[in-house]
């Protein structure tokens, strides 16, 4: 591969991943230019603000801009001229056949290729179908200017493992960085860009917790991303199925999960029973991996089961309400939380949206409150409140669907005085059940059952 020119970094796409990549790469000392073609989003980014909520991100954006290390543009020519490494971070929404829709990746790749006038390394952080490295290479080659040779660039896969709500920390303090490529020099160059993170030598780094560096081929790197997310999703679905069994046999899922997690082979992470996972990654990635299996004649039985259990959890919570509120039609249901998880305003595939829609279809009067999400355009009949206490006024049932800290610590005596009914369903097992019952309310969790437990953590 030919020698490189500029040593800067370009980040194409300024969504949840790209904006974090751009801000954090600037934070560790690189000169970064972010590419965003949406003018409204571009204007916000240029002012040092993201158009979505992510803790700590705006501070990083402003710091990078003020230091002269971070700029944003809609001009690919400018971005390519000032960079050697290009992070491709555009979105890949679910496609009709289960595979990710790569329409936006295709458009971005062609824009990169047409603006390439010197050697570059293209780093894919977009979650693309396994084996997309060759396809991406061919797509870029097909639009290269006449004076640019086909070997002027290499493609390296660098899957992201960022969690919304903690994405900045996840990028700066990862457990591993995965790089997959067929060009050893390109892989070394990308690893060098990550060196301040690998060595934790940037300001605020943690030298005692350096991440592992995994170097492999592109297809393996792409598969690692899918396999990791599919396993975590399956682990959540597994504990949720155990939680339902606990309700039938009068066991307590919290104690079951705690004891399971003490086994180092299992660990306690992702063993929290509830209404299931949501967001833009788990569902899409599980389905994409399942589609890949089917394309090769394999039936993905465990992946299908994980998906089925997750959807079942949402319907199960609605059935809990039906069992207590007879009839459900006309009952007033207050939903605490709309985002798919705390510390984000993202409602993509949020359990709360599925549950709210089903309740509305069944004739319930549904209101909701979320600290960040103020409306759901696809549910115009869903009323929202300005705070949790006004939400529960005259409610027949209160349902926790997102475990925001401010919702965990409600004054249940006040809640009980405001409600018309007395039912509290804890869809995240985040409430202190004894506190809820002490306020005179009926408490039901997911796998916790309805029997009072006397507040002890040891067997009774």
Residue 129 tokens read as 């179908």
pLDDT at 239: 97
The total of other beta-carbon atoms located within 10 Å of residue 114's CB is 17
Sole residue written with tokens 């155990």? 242
Q: Is residue 89 annotated as a catalytic residue, yes or no? A: no
Instruction: Give pLDDT < 70 ranges for the chain.
Output: 1-7, 449-460
Tell me the pLDDT tens digit for each residue of 444-454: 999 985 554 44
Question: Is the previous residue joined to 327 through a cis bond, with omega within 30 degrees of 0?
Answer: yes
pLDDT at 99: 83
pLDDT at 6: 47
Strands (E), 42-101: 70-73, 85-88
pLDDT at 451: 53
pLDDT at 2: 36
**List 24, 89, 246, 281, catalytic entry:** 281
Average pLDDT, the chain: 93
What is the distance between the alpha carbons of residues 119 and 145, in angstroms, rounded to a whole number?
Answer: 12
pTM greater than the 0.95 cutoff = no
Domains in the chain: ranges and CATH:
9-214 (3.40.50.720), 232-444 (3.40.50.720)
Length of the chain: 460
Tell me the pLDDT tens digit for each residue of 284-324: 999 999 999 999 999 999 999 999 999 999 999 999 999 99
H/E run at residue 442: strand 442-444
What is the distance between the alpha carbons of residues 123 and 105, in angstroms, rounded to a whole number?
Answer: 12
Tell me if 343 sits within 8 A of 164, measured CB to CB. yes
pLDDT at 1: 37
pLDDT at 7: 67
Concatenate the DSSP letters of all residues of 85-103 into one string.
EEEE----PBPTTSSB--H
């Amino acid at each position: 591969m030919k020698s490189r020119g500029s040593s800067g970094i370009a980040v194409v796409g300024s969504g949840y991943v790209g904006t974090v990549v751009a801000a954090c790469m600037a934070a560790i000392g690189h000169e970064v230019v972010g590419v965003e073609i949406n003018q409204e989003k571009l204007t916000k980014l240029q002012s040092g603000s993201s158009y979505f909520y992510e803790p700590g991100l705006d501070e990083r954006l402003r710091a990078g801009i003020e230091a002269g290390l971070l700029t944003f543009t809609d001009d690919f020519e400018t971005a390519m001229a000032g960079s050697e490494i290009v992070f491709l971070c555009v979105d890949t929404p679910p496609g009709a056949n289960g595979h990710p829709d790569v329409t936006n990746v295709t458009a971005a790749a062609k824009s990169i290729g047409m603006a390439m006038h010197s050697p570059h390394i293209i780093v894919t952080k977009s979650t693309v179908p396994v084996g997309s490295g060759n396809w991406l290479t061919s797509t870029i080659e097909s639009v290269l200017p006449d004076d640019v040779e086909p070997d002027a660039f290499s493609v390296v896969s660098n899957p992201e493992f960022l969690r919304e709500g903690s994405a900045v920390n996840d990028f700066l303090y990862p457990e591993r960085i995965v790089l997959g490529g067929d060009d050893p020099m390109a892989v070394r160059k990308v690893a060098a860009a990550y060196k301040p993170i690998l060595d934790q030598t940037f300001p605020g780094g943690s030298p005692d917790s350096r991440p592992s560096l995994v170097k492999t081929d592109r297809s393996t790197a792409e598969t690692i991303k899918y396999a990791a997310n599919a396993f975590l999703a399956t682990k959540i679905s597994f504990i949720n199925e155990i939680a339902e069994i606990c309700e039938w046999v009068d066991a307590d899922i919290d104690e079951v999960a705690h004891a399971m997690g003490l086994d180092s082979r299992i660990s306690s992470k992702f063993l929290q029973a509830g209404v299931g996972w949501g967001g833009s990654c788990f569902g899409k990635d599980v389905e994409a991996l399942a589609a890949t299996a089917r394309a090769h004649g394999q039936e993905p039985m465990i992946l299908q089961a994980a998906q089925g259990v997750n959807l079942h959890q949402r319907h199960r919570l609605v059935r809990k309400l039906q069992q207590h509120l007879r009839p459900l039609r006309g009952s007033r249901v207050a939903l605490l939380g709309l985002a798919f998880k705390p510390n984000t305003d993202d409602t993509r595939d949020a359990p709360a949206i599925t549950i709210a829609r089903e309740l509305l279809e069944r004739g319930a009067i549904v209101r909701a409150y979320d600290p960040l999400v103020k409306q759901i355009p696809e549910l115009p009949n869903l009323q929202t409140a300005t705070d949790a206490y006004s939400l529960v006024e005259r409610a027949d049932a209160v349902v926790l669907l997102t475990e925001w800290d401010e919702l965990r610590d409600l004054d249940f005596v006040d809640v009980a005085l405001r409600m018309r009914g007395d039912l509290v369903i804890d869809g995240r097992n985040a409430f202190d059940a004894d506190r809820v019952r002490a306020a005179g309310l009926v408490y039901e969790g997911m796998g916790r059952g309805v029997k009072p437990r006397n507040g002890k953590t040891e067997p009774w």
